[in-house]
Amino acid sequence: MSERPYDLPLNTDPEVARICDEMWEVGYSRVGSILNSEEAGLLKNTFGSMMGDCRPWSERWTDFGATQYLLPPFGDRDQIMFSNIAGRDKKADLLLEKIMTDRLVKGALTLLLGEGYKAWELSARRSNGVDRGLRLHEDAIGEFGISVLLNDQYDAYGTTSLVPRSHRSKVRCREAGVEDYLRPSFMRRFTDPVIGSAGDVYFFFKKTWHGRIKSIKNVSSDSLIFGLYPSGYRFKPFDIPMAYMNELPDELKRLLRTDEGLVAQNDGYFIVQGDVRNDRIIDLIYRKEYSVRSVWGLGPYIKPSLYRARSVYLGLRNYFRQVEAHT
Ligand SMILES: O=C(O)CCC(=O)C(=O)O
Ligand SMILES: [Fe+2]
């Protein structure tokens, strides 16, 4: 392993150190089995039954506010996304609290992100059996992902899949052309799926290129997916109603409350308050001097030819369709 540009405190638990080092080297890490199968099953049933009342995606931005907390699940043929799951069910809240206060989870998060990190979104995601997948992408700057498997997941279908070491790539996913040109059916060849038993927890930087492989197995799969932000980074929090917030266990309350630990900006964003040392692992992955060259760096050179190839292909396809329509 190459020399790391960060120091972990001398008394760091070896498991916590392993997670931090893997995050730095690879961009994601399996934290461990944090919930048992009954606990994972309880979450799967609780949120799964709420997903029955699912709305089409088209209604998300027409019928609901951008920062509205109490959203229904939204879905399409591929997936169902149920945002803001904390506060919906008392037993489920205790299990979410158990994850976020777990010794390894909290220990590693505190070293990777520093103190005072906040939660943007705690959500449940179902990949339907006929899921056509999700293209590789990176999310917002500073965003950090936690994935919790709610069912045993031993193959690559219906789960998040990541490109190892892409979190420190010299080019961004979109610049490399990967986001536009690489179909989810091709992702299998070079991504690493989040697999394991129900209750397993994974960390990933949202800067690590990730998506979902096109499924061919006709079995749905559920995960919890959390998005966190460390101090010094900005996001638009959901506006959790006071009555819901007050009922949450302590750590969930700390993570989700908008009246503490956040400073409002003029543009609707909030900056996470706290000590910004700028040398946390989350900061280092954005630094040019630690970014690495990879085959993806060729993307910007290949992209213009891909554009040309696609327009020729679309032109020909159109032509043959017209010919067909006239015969
Ligand atoms: O649905 C998935 O597994 C991928 C979700 C994703 O892109 C994310 O959590 O940022
Ligand atoms: Fe994402």
315 and 180 in a common domain: no
Single pTM value for the model: 0.90
Residue 272 contacts residue 231 (beta carbons within 8 Å): yes
How many independent structural domains does the chain possess?
A: 2
Give yes or no for residue 213 CB within 6 A of ligand 1.
Answer: no
131 shares its domain with 243: yes
Kindly give the confidence (pLDDT) of every residue in the chain, 327 residues in length, as a single tens digit, with 9 standing for 90 and above: 457 899 999 999 999 999 999 999 999 999 999 999 999 999 999 999 999 989 999 999 999 999 999 999 999 999 999 999 999 999 999 999 999 999 999 999 999 999 999 999 999 999 999 999 999 999 999 999 999 999 999 999 999 999 999 999 888 888 777 777 677 777 777 899 999 999 999 999 999 999 999 999 999 999 999 999 999 999 999 999 999 999 999 999 999 999 999 999 999 999 999 977 789 999 999 999 898 876 666 556 556 666 667 677 777 788 778 888 877
- Going from the C-alpha of 232 to that of each of 116, 235, 253, 278, 282, the distances in angstroms are 10, 10, 20, 9, 11
List the helix and strand counts (H, then E) for the chain: 10, 15
Residues 60, 83 share a domain: yes
Q: Is residue 286 part of a domain?
A: yes
Closest residue to atom 1 of ligand 1, CA basis:
160
Distance from Cα 139 to the centre of ligand 2, integer Å: 5
Q: Which of the listed residues 132, 147, 161 should we mutate to test ligand 1's pocket, taking the one with most ligand atoms within 8 A of CB?
A: 147
Residue 137 CA, ligand 2 centroid: distance in Å: 6
Q: Two tokens at 137?
A: 């992408």
Which residue's C-alpha comes closest to atom 6 of ligand 1?
211
**Closest listed residue to residue 207, CA positions, set 112, 111, 279:** 112
Beta-carbon contacts of residue 116 (< 8 Å; ≥ 6 apart): 230, 231, 261, 272, 273, 274, 275
Cα–Cα distance, 151 to 197 (Å, whole number): 7
Say how many Å lie between the CA of residue 160 and the centre of ligand 1.
6
Is residue 314 located within the same domain as residue 208? no
What range does the domain containing 317 cover? 302-327
Asked if residue 256 and residue 168 are part of one domain, the reply reads: yes
For residue 280, which of 50, 51, 147, 117 has the smallest C-alpha distance?
A: 117
Considering the domain architecture, whether residues 197 and 309 belong to the same structural domain is answered as no
| One domain for residues 73 and 208 | yes
106-112-117-120 Cα dihedral, nearest 10 degrees: -100
Q: 81 and 150, same structural domain?
A: yes
Whose CA is closest to atom 3 on ligand 1? 160
Element containing residue 306 per DSSP (H, E): helix 299-326
Assigned domain for 131 exists: yes
In this structure, is residue 6 part of a structural domain? no
167 lines ligand 1 (CB under 6 A): no
Are residues 310 and 186 part of one domain?
Answer: no
Please choose from 80, 125, 208 the residue to mutate so as to test ligand 1's pocket, defined by most ligand atoms within 8 A of CB: 125
132 C-alpha to center of ligand 1: Å?
14
Query: Hey, which residues does 203 pair with through a beta bridge?
Result: 29, 146
Please indicate, yes or no, whether residues 306 and 248 belong to a single structural domain of this protein. Answer: no
Q: Is there a domain that residue 7 lies in?
A: no
Most informative mutation of 209, 225, 226, 235 for ligand 1 (most atoms within 8 A of CB): 225
CATH number at residue 169: 2.60.120.620
314 and 242, same structural domain? no
Q: Is 145 in the pocket of ligand 1 (CB under 6 A)?
A: yes
